[in-house]
Amino acid sequence: MNRSRRTTTAAALALFFALGTSSGFLLNRVDQLRTGATLEEVLYISSPKLLKRASLGYSGLLADIYWTRAVQYFGSKHHVGSRQYELLWPLLNITTQLDPHLVPAYRFGATFLSQKPPHGAGDPAKAIQLAEYGIQNNSDDWHLYYDLGFIYYDLKDYLSASDAFERGSRVPNAHPFLKLLAAQTAQHGGELETARMLWTATYQTSHDKYIRANAAAHLRAIQVDLEVPALERLAEAYRQRTGRLPASFAEMNAAGLLRGIPLDPLGTPYKLTQDGRVLLQNPDDFPFVQKGVRQGYLPPVTPKILPSD
Amino acid sequence: MNSRIYYIATNTFREAVRDRVLYNLIAFALLLTGAAVLVGQISIEIEKLVVINLGLTAVSLFGIVIAIFIGIGLVSKEIDKRTLYTMLSRPVRRWEFIAGKFFGLAGTLVVNTLLMAVGVFAAVLYVSRHFAGSDASILTALYFIVLQFVIVTALALLFSSFSSPLLSAVFTFSLFVIGTFAEDLRGFAKLTHGLPGMLATAAAYVVPNFSALNVISQVAHGGPVSSELILYNTLYALVYAAAVLSAAVLIFERRNLK
């Protein structure tokens, strides 16, 4: 290689790396100026029918791309504790219209839509619409009936929940617990034991780590909601027996009302207050609890969902 | 196949390999590897679905692009390089030249698809750790994709036999796009009456039906493909491609090459 060619090669290499790096920096700056624009751009074409035509028959892959967008969108909003998920429904609608058999989009999508903010979009009507559309296109998948029943259960519409479980139980190869759930929801809708049954079923039948972690967090919260009132009743029993509230769990142990120091589901001892209330030491670890927290307690913006197991 | 067609076909295959057509396999491998590794991190519960959808879509699109861009040059390149005259001065008939070119390119695409199929199955095995019985349907989808290539190759050759490479590319790609809407066109024909209805019906039968040959989504969900559909799609693709090749031969036989 002569000198001139060597110089040209070196200059081209230097230019390639310098300009390549610069374009990276510039792109970064452009992204900073257009925060949030990228995702909204994908909805410039908001008609699922038009998108299906434009996909030239490759709608399955396009649906996967939209589903990934929906997951990314939900994840990014959920991460910052957002209460607004305005693009979630259009993204899920497009995804499921492009591929009506994409079951994960119905299952997760309905959960994302139905849960109250900041856990989800707080739009159960759309979640029901999505789940029903999923059932219409995948009528032999019992999970979708189960999810629909769950949404109704959260809305405290126990009859509709029971009906959805009942419909699901008639699907060939449906899990036997759907029949039990249908009966239990109809008769004991608002009870914590029914909720425990639902979340246990979710935990046991899902292989997804997010669903299992969420179910485990709900099960821990239900356990706390059952244990705290029970412990407070024991403290009240102590007061009725001795004329004063117990100063500690040790006193209740000595009085034969307890055996050992009661622990929360994560193994941390409960705290007994001077006014006989029982509190969690780390309430942030129990994002869905109704009991065991101080009055006026504000949960963290981003719910702390611990790994399932 | 007579020996002259065989030699033209093998030379077309060798030429495609020399033109580094099979280099597209590198891009394909990178795409599938990236998808298989990344999709689990950025999406939920669709790893296998994405690998199948992306793999089969890529096999189809890469092949269509190769069929169009190689196919449109099959005749014109021989004329430009003046090798066609040498060939036709030997005892090679024009129809044998067209048939040989067709089989050569179709063979290239079959080899390319077979290599890509290995990649698709490897990626499926990577994301799901084992094969399910329903994964056999992927082979059916791949077979239908090859049938698409057979039709596109025949179309590219047809246009290449009388038109410039640029126009041939435009015509072939347009017919591919229209062909993906063939079922809509048929639905539209049913809704219209009179002359427009007759024209729409005629158009619906003239354009190739690519929508029936696309079972990617169905297969990705583990859905079976009926043996009847396989049989009729095979017959349709072969008959349609043969008809198009006949038209190409007809035009090429009458073409003045002086």
pLDDT of residue A41: 53
Instruction: Provide CB contacts within 8 A for A280, sequence distance 6+.
Output: A224, A228, A264, A268, A270, A271, A286, A289, A292, A293
Contacts of B8 (CB under 8 A, 6+ apart): B87, B92, B96, B97, B99, B100, B101, B103, B104
Mutate to test the interface with B, among A50, A58, A137, A208 (most CBs of B within 10 A): A58
The reply to whether residue B221 touches residue A101, judged by beta carbons under 8 angstroms, is yes
Q: Which residues contact A275 (CB under 8 A, 6 or more apart)?
A: A245
The whole-chain average pLDDT of chain B stands at 86
- pLDDT digits 0-9 by tens, A18-43: 988 888 888 778 777 665 555 555 56
pLDDT, tens digit (0-9, with 9 covering 90-100), for A107-136: 999 988 998 887 888 899 999 999 999 999
Distance from CA of A179 to the nearest CA of B (A): 27
With beta carbons less than 8 A apart as the criterion, state whether B145 and B57 touch: no
Has the ipTM of the complex gone over 0.85? Answer: no
CA gap A103, A118 in Å, rounded: 24
In the predicted model, what is the mean pLDDT of residues B178-205? 83
> pLDDT of B128-140, one tens digit each?
888 888 888 999 9
- pLDDT score, position A295: 83
Residues 159-188 of B with CB under 8 A from A: 177, 180-181, 184
pLDDT of residue A102: 93
Give the pTM: 0.75
Tell me which chain B residue has its CA closest to the CA of residue A55.
B180
DSSP string, B2-33: -HHHHHHHHHHHHHHHHTTGGGHHHHHHHHHH
Q: Which residue has the higher pLDDT, A268 or B256?
A: A268
- The fraction of chain A above a pLDDT of 90, given in percent, is 29
Is-contact B183 B212, C-beta < 8 A? Answer: yes
Residues of chain A contacting residue B44, judged by C-beta atoms under 8 Å apart: 67, 71, 104, 108, 208, 210
Both tokens of A48, joined, read: 């699922």
pLDDT, tens digit, 9 for 90 and up, residues A205-235: 777 777 788 888 888 988 999 999 999 999 9
Dist. CA B239–CA B236, nearest whole Å: 5
Q: Which of B50, B214, B223 sits opposite A64 (nearest CB)?
A: B50
Alpha-helix residue ranges (DSSP H) falling in chain B = 3-18, 24-42, 47-71, 73-80, 83-89, 94-128, 137-160, 165-180, 182-191, 194-206, 216-220, 227-254
The CA distance from B142 to B132, in Å, is: 17
Give the model's pLDDT for residue A308: 58
Stronger pLDDT, A269 or B190, i.e. the higher one: A269
Tokens of B61: 């699109």
Q: Say whether pLDDT at A3 is over 80.
A: no
Q: Please state which of the ranges A1-10, A92-101, B217-226 shows the lowest mean pLDDT.
A: A1-10
Mean pLDDT value across residues B212-225: 89
Euclidean distance between CA atoms A65 and A57, whole angstroms:
15
Q: Which of A78-92, A228-242, B24-38, B44-58 has the largest mean confidence? A: A228-242
Domains parsed from chain A with CATH numbers: 41-213 (1.25.40.10), 219-309 (no CATH)
